[in-house]
Structure 1
Amino acid sequence: MRRFRLADQVIEEAAPDLQAALADAYRRKLRPLCLCKEPCPAMYIAQVGDQYMVKRMPLSGGSHDPSCSSYEPPDELSGLGVLMGSAIQVDSESGMAALKLDFRLSKVGTRSVPAVGAAGSDSVVGDTKRLSLRGLLHYLWHEAELTVSTSRWAGKRHWWNIRWHLVEAAGQMTVKGGALSEILFVPEPFRSADKIAIEQRRGQALAPALPPKSGPRKLMILVGEVKEFSPARSGHKLIVKHMPGFVFLLDESLQRRLQTRFESEIALWGSDEASHLIAIATFGLTPAGLAVIEEMAVMVVAENWVPYESAYEKKLVDALARTRERSVKGLRYNLPVDMPTAAAILQTQPRPVGLYVVPPSSDSAYQETLSELIASRPEFDSWIWRTADSEMPTLPGRQDGRRY
């Protein structure tokens, strides 16, 4: 349980008067201090609707104690490290992140040019300068803290709070000087009793994607859970959960390239009934009101909404979901698949542990780079699963009495 110092007052996160104290501190422009360790890391207060939240300062996650929920593993252990300061530029005062994207948010003309998100992620060249579509999805997921897992949260994540955290995270990001939240569409949970009101709100939210009378068409960004892909009379259509009766159209070429580029993700999703497939796509509306996808990427997540990219990582993610210690899943962002990263960080005491999953296809160059990565963070212990040689080793820490 976090404790904060607000001027001369110390207050716990679960205190009944926390919101009143935060509202007062927000008006007085006070910075809370997290009492997880000395020196106390400074934080800031964000207003989300009528609620106030204490959030860590940008780039300060490593200054918190590993047992603190504000702790964040070093960016260098995942694909995020190479993007900070270039594709992602964070204002240390406001906490706003300015993003540079490698995909278009406007379109001239009506002819669709099929594209698949993260197509350049197989190459290192240029990847650190701009975020791919898949990289943006990873960053949203990370900042929404949907990469975090603990056994105490079992069964407590549902689409309504997934959506809330994504929208809140997008509120701290800008693209081309404008708020990302203004062009991001995340469908709200559907309830048949509220069908008319939900569809009215959807129409208002999608208005920026309507074509103008002249000039380039603006595109919006969809983040939603895939229900199914199905053939259309021309091309294919994407059905998104919580959007009954609404379809997104895909060009035949785009659908074919999507199935090729994300073959592994779609296969992993198809092999596990509890997993979810998350789509991120740029789209616009035709004058007739049809939603047409221009570019798309997908990500598979486990039942607890934590991402994974192989059957080996799925086993690790499932084990971490049964572990009492807090863990943070590492993400690849724009990095190629043959570049080692920490699959996750387990926040054990007294030292956190970097968890590394070595694929069967790894060669000597991969092993050498992995060794350098581990050596670069001596303050972390390491756990390595060489998947070609053995079953998954037992995880460190408390595991609710189970063995994995």
Structure 2
Amino acid sequence: MRQFLIGNQAFDDSSPEFLPQLERAYEQKLRPLCPCRQPPVPMYIARMDGQFLIKRMPLSGRDHDPGCPSYEPPYELSGLGPLIGNAIQIDAATGAAVLKLDFSLSKRGNRSASASSSEPSETVRNDPKKLSLKAMLHYLWETGELTEWTALWAGRRGWGRVRSSLLNAARQMIVRGGPLSDILFVPEVFHQEDKEGISARRAAMLAGAQLTGPGPRKLMMTVGEVKEFSSARDGQKMLVRHLPFPFMLDEGAWKRLNARYETELELWRSNEGFHLIVIATFGISGAGIASVEEVALMVVNENWIPFETIHEQRLLERLSSLKRRSVKGLRFDLSRDQPIASVTLPEAKPAPIAMFIVPTKADEDYDVALNEMIAARAEMTPWIWRVADGEMPRLP
């Protein structure tokens, strides 16, 4: 049982009047408050799959008490830390995250498509002032709470739930002066009995990406699960699940995608239980062809939790059967030679646990940065797996 403050009243989330009150509060745009601390922490109401749920505000997880289900580990333990206050700025009045982007949402001329870098160190673009396309995907995943897992959710997270989480997260984000949700296209799960309704909603959403005349062409953003890549006359077709049409990639973009996301593609192809997530900016030509402008990839496991290496996946697999909540840390735009907390266990007692995986190629600078990160968060207990030393240590 959990209690929330709505208006001037306190409600238990198990009481019969809670859900009707939540629906009324959603319609009146009231913010529920979590009383885990004083003053209470503001939250918001999301509508997912026809249900009303209370969610934490962007970047507010650290404001909750560590014993509260809405508590989130410090963002300094991941690649999110350098972006806060720079590429990501929170509007104090609305709670919305105002984002500065390092990629374009319009196109002039016939510039060829590009693959967003998976390794910022290649071009020294580890710039905290703007979000890359890959970092945009990570922020959507984290804000949508798709980095979190507990065994109690087994069998309950499919693409429909992922989609709802992403769209709700996008409604809390502002880009170019408007809600990200206005330009973010996430395919609906296809159901034969609702074929015409899905087609109509898809056409209405994609109207914003249609070529309408001379001048710069507006682009939209899509997030989806890659079904397969296949050859086309001049490049590749990227098939996304639940869509009846492909996205086109020219040959140059396809070669760059394979070079920059070699690890992600290798991991995806190694196990049919893994999913490959794509984020891309795209436009639709006068002929109705959807073409990618910039693209980035991320591999996730069967529970839709992102991972970078097979060692991370092994740790996630071990943690997946636990009833305690785990939270996957994401790299955003940090290079791979910088440490992050791979996973945190916020509900561990007597203190939250930060889990680090040290790669075999880690050098002295990596160890110095890791020790500094651990020292800066003395309230968290570190767990370290040095891959070069052998098998995974015993879980805490």
- 1:58–1:224: structure 2 CA closer, same or farther, 3 Å change rule? closer
Kept in 2, the 8 Å contact 1:35–1:41? The answer is: yes
Instruction: State the partner residue of 1:160.
Output: 160
1:24 positional shift: 4.8
Measured in 2, the distance between the counterparts of 1:27 and 1:279 equals 34
The correspondence of residues 193-232 of structure 1 with structure 2, limited to 5 A, is 193-232=193-232
Alignment correspondent of 1:256: 255
Map of 1:391 onto structure 2 = 391
Mapped to 2, the partners of 1:25 and 1:206 lie a distance apart of 31
Is structure 2 residue 185 aligned with structure 1 residue 185?
yes
Instruction: Compute the displacement of 1:191 (Å).
Output: 1.6
Offset of 1:68 from its aligned partner? 2.2
Are the equivalent residues in 2 in contact too, given 1:238–1:248 (CA < 8 A)? yes
Ranges in structure 2 where 5+ consecutive residues have no aligned partner: none
Q: 1: CA distance between counterparts of 2:376 and 2:67?
A: 22
Separation of aligned partners in 1, 2:214 and 2:185: 24
Contact 1:356 1:385 in 2 (8 A): yes
2:268 matched to which residue of 1?
269
1:93 — aligned with what? 93
Shift of 1:57: 3.8
Q: Is the partner of 2:21 in helix, strand or coil? A: helix
Bigger mean CA deviation after superposition, 112-121 or 202-211 = 112-121
Q: How big is each residue's C-alpha offset from its partner over 1:270-296, in whole Å with a ceiling of 9 and x where there is no partner?
A: 111111000000110010000000110
Structure 1 counterpart of 2:352, one-letter code: P
1:62 to 1:247, Cα distance in 2 relative to 1, 3 A: same
TM-score (norm 1): 0.92
Post-superposition offset of 1:126:
5.1
Secondary structure at the aligned position of 1:79 is classed as: coil
Quote the residue 1:176 is aligned against.
176
Identity of paired residues, percent? 50
Contact 2:105/2:220, CA 8 A, preserved across alignment: yes
**Is 1:56 paired with 2:27?**
no
8 Å contact kept, 2:301–2:313 = yes
Instruction: Report the AA paired with residue 337 of structure 1.
Output: R
SS at match of 1:4: strand
| Alignment partner, residue 114 of structure 1 | 113
For 1:230 and 1:291, the matched residues in 2 are separated by 15
CA contact (8 A) 1:100 1:129 kept: yes
Amino acid corresponding to residue 72 of structure 1 in structure 2: E
Superposed displacement of residue 195, structure 1: 2.3
Offset at residue 121 of structure 1 (A): 1.5
CA separation of 1:125 and 1:108: change in aligned 2, threshold 3 A: closer
Q: CA deviation at 1:201?
A: 1.8
SS of 2:101's equivalent in the other structure is: coil
- Are the equivalent residues in 2 in contact too, given 1:2–1:34 (CA < 8 A)? no
Say whether the 8 Å CA contact 1:282–1:294 is kept in structure 2. yes
Aligned match of 1:310: 309
CA contact (8 A) 2:119 2:260 kept: no
Native 8 Å contact 2:58 2:143 kept in 1: no
With over 3 angstroms needed to count, the CA separation of the structure-2 counterparts of 1:90 and 1:260, relative to structure 1, is same
Q: 1:2, CA displacement in angstroms?
A: 2.7
* SS of the residue 1:215 aligns to: coil
| CA deviation profile, 1:134-175 (whole Å, cap 9, x unmatched) | 000000000000000111111210111110110111011111
Q: Which runs of 5+ in 1 are unaligned?
A: 397-404
Q: What is the alpha-carbon distance in structure 2 between the residues aligned to residue 196 and residue 52 of structure 1?
A: 27
The C-alpha deviation readout for 1:97-127, integer Å capped at 9, x for no partner, is: 1111101100012x14231113562255452
Q: Quick one: distance in 2 between partners of 1:27 and 1:217?
A: 36
Contact 1:120/1:127 (<8 A) preserved: no
Aligned residue number for residue 342 of structure 2: 343
- 2:360 aligned counterpart, secondary structure: coil
Aligned twin of 1:6 = 6
The Cα offsets for residues 67-106 of structure 1, whole Å up to 9 and x where unpaired, read as: 3221111110000010011101111231111111101100
Looking at structure 2, the residues matched to 105 and 97 of structure 1 have their Cα atoms a distance apart, in angstroms, of 18
Superposed, 1:18-97 pairs within 5 Å as 18-25=18-25, 31-36=31-36, 38-39=37-38, 41-46=40-45, 48=47, 52-97=52-97
Structure 1 counterpart of 2:208, which letter?
Answer: P
Task: Report the equivalent of 2:364.
Answer: 364
Residues 27-36 or 222-231, more deviating:
27-36
User: 1:355 maps to what in 2?
Assistant: 355
Q: TM-score, normalised by structure 2?
A: 0.94
Return the offset for 1:212. 1.9
1:365 maps to a residue whose letter is D
Distance 1:156 1:27 in 2: 27
Q: More displaced, 188-197 or 247-256? A: 188-197
| CA distance in 2: counterparts of 1:63 and 1:136, whole angstroms | 23
How far apart are the structure 2 equivalents of 1:45 and 1:80? 21
Letter of the aligned partner of 1:386 in structure 2?
A: R
Cα distance in 1, alignment partners of residues 198 and 28 from structure 2: 37
SS at match of 1:297: strand
Deviation at 1:197, TM superposition (A): 2.5
Partners in 2 of 1:308 and 1:234 — Cα distance?
Answer: 32
**In structure 2, what is the equivalent of residue 401 of structure 1?**
none
Q: How many residues align?
A: 393
SS in 2 for 1:128: coil
C-alpha root-mean-square deviation of aligned residues, in Å? 1.9
Shift of the 27–253 alpha-carbon distance from structure 1 to 2, 3 Å rule, reads closer
Change in CA separation of 1:44 and 1:307 when aligned onto 2, cut-off 3 Å: same
Structure 2 distance, partners of 1:131, 1:28, is: 33
- The DSSP-based 3-state class of the residue aligned with 2:20 is helix
Shift of 1:51: 5.4
Quickly say closer, same or farther: Cα 1:263–1:167, change in 2 above 3 A: same
Distance 2:320 2:328 in 1: 11
Pairwise CA distance, 1:53: 3.6
- Asked if the contact 1:118–1:334 (Cα under 8 Å) also holds between the matched residues in 2, the reply is no
Task: Check whether the contact 1:78–1:341 (CA below 8 A) recurs between aligned residues.
Answer: yes
